[in-house]
Amino acid sequence: MAGLYLVPTPIGNLEDITVRALSVLKEVDLILAEDTRQTGKLLKHFSIDKPLKSFHQHNEHKQVEKVVELLEEGQTLALVSDAGTPGISDPGFLLVRECVAHDIDVQTLPGATAFVPALVNSGLPCDRFLFEGFLPHKKGRQTRLTKLAEEERTIVFYESPHRLVKTLKQLSEYFGSDRKAAVCRELTKIHEETKRGSLHELHDYYDSKGVKGEIVVVVEGLGRKS
């Protein structure tokens, strides 16, 4: 079993963790966690007692070499993010790249991730899509929006609640106010919500209502009709 395991964790509902994920977390020597407190709660819920080591976007460049050394010594490690699949808008890529360079076995378990259920539930075409993740906050944002406005595939974004209204307004300006979209909020949680409509309608809705929680925005591609 030696090597690195990338283990998806629930994005909300704890029942979404797989049997295999639990088995791996119980058997590894060490768990690398984006937030040890958050992962600690998950492990406690499933009665798993394993050592945790912090591994997040602010320290991954410094930690990668040390982690590779542990793996080369024969230890088995799991990498988890706060929620979802490591490497998808979360730490993971740098470590996987180094493991590949050092011929260390890497296995990624299938499991929870936010953009797939949001895409399928949006009601927009999902046979061809572009996962964009988070838009640049400042530098390069306008250039990226201008380019994406011509994208023919369905586009999937991640967004924070305090930037959602601004982003919907900008998407409306660059893509056209009548472009169809869906905002998926708090997926798998008690207050899960999917709101569908034009970018203009969605902007007005959340501008007046306010918004909380984790968010995925799905936007129709140019010229595509659901």
Q: 204: part of which helix (H) or strand (E)?
A: helix 199-209
Which one has a higher pLDDT value, 138 or 72? 72
Band of the pLDDT at 113, cuts 50, 70, 90? very high
Cα–Cα separations (whole angstroms), residue 185 to 25, 173, 178: 28, 22, 21
pLDDT digits (tens, 9 = 90+) for 144-183: 999 999 999 999 999 999 999 999 999 999 999 999 999 9
Q: At 107, which helix (H) or strand (E)?
A: strand 106-108
User: What is the pLDDT at residue 202?
Assistant: 98
Q: Any idea what the Cα angle at residue 209 is, between residues 204 and 213, rounded to 5°?
A: 110
Q: What is the pLDDT of residue 195?
A: 97
List the domain boundaries for the chain: 3-108, 115-219
Q: Give the separation between CA 155 and CA 147, rounded to whole angstroms.
A: 12
CB 208 within 8 A of CB 185: no
Homologous superfamily, domain 3-108? Tetrapyrrole methylase, N-terminal domain (3.40.1010.10)
**Residue 186, C-beta contacts closer than 8 angstroms, at least 6 positions apart:** 12, 192, 193, 212, 213, 214
Note whether 99 and 4 are within 8 A (CB).
yes
| pLDDT score at 226 | 55
Contact of 222 with 180, CB cutoff 8 Å = no
Q: Please tell me the CATH superfamily of domain 115-219, with its number.
A: Tetrapyrrole methylase, C-terminal domain (3.30.950.10)
Domains 3-108 and 115-219 share a fold: no
Tell me the pTM.
Answer: 0.92
